[in-house]
Amino acid sequence: MPQYDIIIEKDACDGIFACLTRDPRFVEGEDGLATVDPDADPVYDCEGAVTDTDERVVATFDDDRIDEARQAAAACPTDAIVVRVREGDE
């Protein structure tokens, strides 16, 4: 299973939250922008590492839910979300 990163660029995020309806791991952060919380999904017990800085959120997963993450990224009208497969995992 490939390891992948979900990256949210905070300066591009407008808090529209179209991503939240595509992938329940996306939630509203304390700053009013989208972030990722692996524990927010009530259906799947998933583990992920999340780094949240002033510039971006980077969440790393190694599950089979990359398509949900890609759908969330595609739904973002400001293109603030990128999903990247980790090098060597393609």
Domain range for 33 is 4-85
pLDDT at position 1 is 73
Tokens of 10: 């905070």
How many whole angstroms separate alpha carbon 53 and alpha carbon 70? 22
Using the 8-state DSSP alphabet, how is residue 75 labeled? H
**Predicted structure pTM score:** 0.90
Assigned domain for 41 exists? yes
How many domains is the chain built from? Answer: 1
Assigned domain for 90 exists? no
Q: Can you give the three-state secondary structure of 55-71, one letter per residue?
A: CEEEEEECCCCHHHHHH
Q: What is the CATH number of the domain that holds 33?
A: 3.30.70.20
pLDDT at position 45 is 75
pLDDT at position 90 is 57
pLDDT at position 2 is 80
Walking along the chain (90 residues) 10 residues at a time, the average pLDDT comes out as 93 96 95 94 81 95 94 97 85
pLDDT at position 46 is 74
